[in-house]
Amino acid sequence: MQRPNLVSCPDTKRCAVINPVLDFEPKSGATGTQSADAVLEHIRSERLVLDWVLDTHPHADHFSAAGYLKDKTGVRIGIGQKVVEVQRLWKDLYNLPDSFHIDGSYWDKLFSDGERFNIGNLTCEVLFSPGHTLASISYW
């Protein structure tokens, strides 16, 4: 099981989950939410307030639990703005239908390189860090 990173402000108890995943059973192709539910339970047990789910890149290598966590909590989801370029590439490469949006609208916030935001009293900065994908970012 891949574990997401959880960042929290000790002063305000505000937090963010980075790269949450859905569980995947390769033999059956089934997905599950046990890992994401465990993150939510940890957040509840520590009395944290979830402000963000942050993706570092568009995930073709695993299933993101960002949408599931948003459905469960209403949390905002963020990713780097270059995700739009990857969406365009994937739409053509995988022959995705016209209903597949290539405008980044699956996320609530598209971060630009150098942009700052807060998790409680923690100031975070977005760093463009292409590598795993052409749209990868890091959060500092």
Give residue-wise pLDDT tens across range 52-78: 999 998 866 567 899 999 999 999 999
In this predicted structure, the answer to whether residue 87 has a pLDDT above a threshold of 90 is no
Residue 91's pLDDT is 83
Give residue-wise pLDDT tens across range 95-114: 888 888 888 888 999 999 99
Closest CA to 19 of 3, 35, 31, 32: 3
Closest CA to 45 of 74, 69, 15: 15
Range of the domain at 96: 5-139
Q: Assign residue 36 the CATH number of its domain.
A: 3.60.15.10
Q: Mean of the pLDDT values across residues 116-126?
A: 98
Rounded Cα distance, 118 and 57, in Å: 20
Residue 1's pLDDT is 45
Rounded Cα distance, 45 and 23, in Å: 22
Half-sphere exposure of 87 (CA within 13 A, CB side): 17
If you write DSSP's letter for every residue of the chain in order, what string do you get? -PPPEEEE-TTT-EEEEES-B-EEETTTTEEE-HHHHHHHHHHHHTT-EEEEEE-SS--SSS-B-HHHHHHHH--EEEEETTHHHHHHHHHHHTT--TTS--SSTTSSEEEPTT-EEEETTEEEEEEE--SSSTT-EEE-
Give residue-wise pLDDT tens across range 21-43: 898 888 998 889 999 999 999 99
Quote the number of domains for the chain: 1
Look up tokens 């570092």; give the residue. 56
Of 132 and 69, the one with more pLDDT? 69
Beta carbons of 68 and 91 less than 8 angstroms apart = no
Residue 127's pLDDT is 97
Residue 4's pLDDT is 60
User: Predicted confidence band at 122 (pLDDT cuts at 50, 70, 90)?
Assistant: very high
* Token representation of residue 7: 């960042």
